[in-house]
Amino acid sequence: MRQSSYFAPTLKENPAEAQVVSHRLMLRAGMIRQVTSGIYNYLPLGLKVLKKVENIIREEMNAAGAQEILMPMVQPLELWKETGRDAKYGTELLRIKDRHDRDFCLGPTHEEVITDLVRNNVQSYKQLPIMLYQIQTKFRDEVRPRFGLMRGREFLMKDCYSFDVSIDNAKKSYELMQKSYHRIFNRLGLDWRMVYADTGDIGGDYSHEFHVLAETGEDTLIFDTDGDYAVNVEKHDADTCAIPSERLKEAKGIEVGHIFLLEGTYSAPMNANVLGDDGKEATIQMGCYGIGVSRIVAAAIEQNYDEKGIIWPEQLAPFNIHIINLRAKDDDCNNACEKLYSQFKEQNYDVLYDDRDIGAGQKFSDADLIGCPWQCTIGPRGLKDSIAEWKNRRTGETTNLPLGEIPQALVGKAA
């Protein structure tokens, strides 16, 4: 992508409204723009990262045997009445009336819709297990939206639901999903932790949260430095915990995933039953599995930045390589850059090419702000010796390499 025509308007100053670093840097790098409180436009750079997160999640969901579907954002409120959640959910559920004065809501989650779908289309235990997921825009009418994508009103979620004939089988689906989440968060390249958690609004029997560790996290996690114990502080009872206190450590986390064993919480009141192999009707046993897709983008930044800007993990970087042309008025520089730009793209690298006719200082500061893992700088001086300067954004290390060569650490990392 040529930066001269790329819609990524960078800002030099910190926007006053942005209190946390991810919000600040996403605005400054031209990834997002606010439409109104808690509601954002994703510009090309922001959407590109969002899609990288989406793709990793989608691949792992498919690998786990979950099937992708798409449910509507606008949901009939009558389904929520069947489970009693219309009353319980409170004012975060945005209720609307259509032109015929019928009641709807904007879906913050889809347990009712999917339970309705499954009860109408699954009759026999032979059709189970099923795991269905979607990656979809959700709405939650937060009383005080803040921190950019961290606590927005309209956001992107992956929500998956499992359906089994028995609680034992439902637990197997839960464990399968848990393993899938381990793979997803490892692949995202983030420092994360799984903890026991409260089941909150969703209900059900037991659940785990997945947190990206970051000082700005709103949750406190407590874990045993010498064992498996790891909980959200809400779940920690210091009086009954048998682990010596010196072994317990605290960390701040940003919740980016949450899995629940629901059992019959939704299927029982909604009469979602199947005929079992014993010929008897049985309540379908469910699990639900969420990941905050847009929140992961913000959380990744909270964990990966410095005073100059974002430092993308390779897996989430919008571009692998940022070519910086130091002299856009110079034919030799332009020719060399164009050649590299084509070559790297042919090798399947995602390349941003700064071909703008502006000063070198602004190019360097924009490149550090946007935070692609590798910067490849071409200037008249290096060109004399057919050399490009490569900078590793994370370590700051620079190396001179013959034109067209790629740092060893980048080889094989094409998108």
Residues 135, 82: Cα–Cα separation, whole Å: 25
Least distance CB 75 / a second copy (angstroms): 7
**Contact mark string toward a second copy, 217..236, x via CB under 8 A:** --------------------
Regarding 242 and contact with a second copy (CB under 8 A), the answer is: no
Q: Please report, for residues 190, 232, 282, the alpha-carbon distance to residue 193 in angstroms, rounded to integers and kept in the order given.
A: 10, 10, 36
Q: Which of 19, 67, 271, 386 binds a second copy (CB under 8 A)?
A: 67
Regarding 415 and contact with a second copy (CB under 8 A), the answer is: no
# of chain residues touching a second copy (CB under 8 A): 48
Least distance CB 40 / a second copy (angstroms): 7
Least distance CB 239 / a second copy (angstroms): 38
Which of these, 314, 308, 355, 358, lies nearest to 336 by C-alpha position? 355
Q: Please report, for residues 37, 77, 92, 209, the alpha-carbon distance to residue 142 in angstroms, rounded to integers and kept in the order given.
A: 10, 19, 6, 20
What the block records as the tokens of 126 is 């032979």
What the block records as the tokens of 66 is 């979950």
**Contact mark string toward a second copy, 124..163, x via CB under 8 A:** ------x-x----x-x-x-x---------xx---------
Stretch that binds a second copy, among 113-121, 284-292, 297-305, 368-376 (CB under 8 A): 113-121
Regarding 358 and contact with a second copy (CB under 8 A), the answer is: no
What the block records as the tokens of 377 is 């700088």
Residues 198, 299: Cα–Cα separation, whole Å: 21
13-52: which residues touch a second copy (CB under 8 A)? 30, 33, 35-36, 39-44, 47, 50
Is the Cβ–Cβ distance between 67 and 130 less than 8 Å? yes
Which of these, 140, 172, 156, lies nearest to 287 by C-alpha position? 172
How far separated are the first and last CA of the chain, in Å rounded? Answer: 14
Regarding 12 and contact with a second copy (CB under 8 A), the answer is: no
| Alpha carbons within 13 A on the beta-carbon side of 122 | 29
Least distance CB 296 / a second copy (angstroms): 15
Least distance CB 129 / a second copy (angstroms): 8
Residues 367, 359: Cα–Cα separation, whole Å: 13
What the block records as the tokens of 118 is 């499954």
Regarding 99 and contact with a second copy (CB under 8 A), the answer is: yes
Regarding 65 and contact with a second copy (CB under 8 A), the answer is: yes
Strand segments, DSSP code E, in 214-348 are: 219-224, 230-232, 248-263, 273-275, 281-283, 285-292, 305-306, 309-310, 321-325
Regarding 63 and contact with a second copy (CB under 8 A), the answer is: no
Residues in contact with a second copy by the rule CB under 8 A: 5-7, 9, 30, 33, 35-36, 39-44, 47, 50, 65, 67-76, 91-92, 94, 96, 98-99, 106, 113, 116-117, 120-122, 130, 132, 137, 139, 141, 143, 153-154
